[in-house]
Amino acid sequence: GENVEQHPSTLSVQEGDSAVIKCTYSDSASNYFPWYKQELGKRPQLIIDIRSNVGEKKDQRIAVTLNKTAKHFSLHITETQPEDSAVYFCAARDSGYSSASKIIFGSGTRLSIRP
């Protein structure tokens, strides 16, 4: 099955700087890679996703890149703001036999924005 590794586990950046979170996956057949943001005490929420037929996707200050050859993908947040402080999870869809879209998550990155 799929295995997703995520780095770093904690990240602290100055407000206004950029933050990058990196993930690797093991199943070369995986074709869907979502990113979730979980604010303190709240549920994880999907912030951006990318499918295997594209290499990059942007949504305002957030971008995700995918390198299928190397089996890694990254989240980039530019011009960070205090409200970006949260735990971020990368994930990959398991391409196993099940008919369900089973998603495997990384271990999470706690991002803190320093004022």
Partner 1 sequence: DVKVTQSSRYLVKRTGEKVFLECVQDMDHENMFWYRQDPGLGLRLIYFSYDVKMKEKGDIPEGYSVSREKKERFSLILESASTNQTSMYLCASSSGVATYGYTFGSGTRLTVV
* Residue position matching structure tokens 């499918």: 51
**For residues 34 and 77, which CB has a smaller minimum distance to partner 1 in the complex?**
34
Question: Which member of 18, 28, 67, 107 binds partner 1 (CB under 8 A)?
Answer: 107
Binding of partner 1 at residue 44 (CB under 8 A)?
A: yes
Q: Which stretch binds partner 1 (CB under 8 A): 57-65, 66-74, 77-85, 104-112?
A: 104-112
Residue of 8, 25, 20 lying closest to 91 (CA atoms): 25
Binding of partner 1 at residue 49 (CB under 8 A)?
A: yes
Residue of 38, 52, 46 lying closest to 86 (CA atoms): 38
In the bound complex, what is the minimum distance in angstroms from residue 81's beta carbon to partner 1? Answer: 23
**For residues 34 and 80, which CB has a smaller minimum distance to partner 1 in the complex?**
34
Binding of partner 1 at residue 51 (CB under 8 A)?
A: yes
Q: Which stretch binds partner 1 (CB under 8 A): 13-21, 68-76, 78-86, 106-114?
A: 106-114
C-beta separation of 54 from 65 below 8 A: no
Question: Which member of 13, 31, 62, 74 binds partner 1 (CB under 8 A)?
Answer: 31
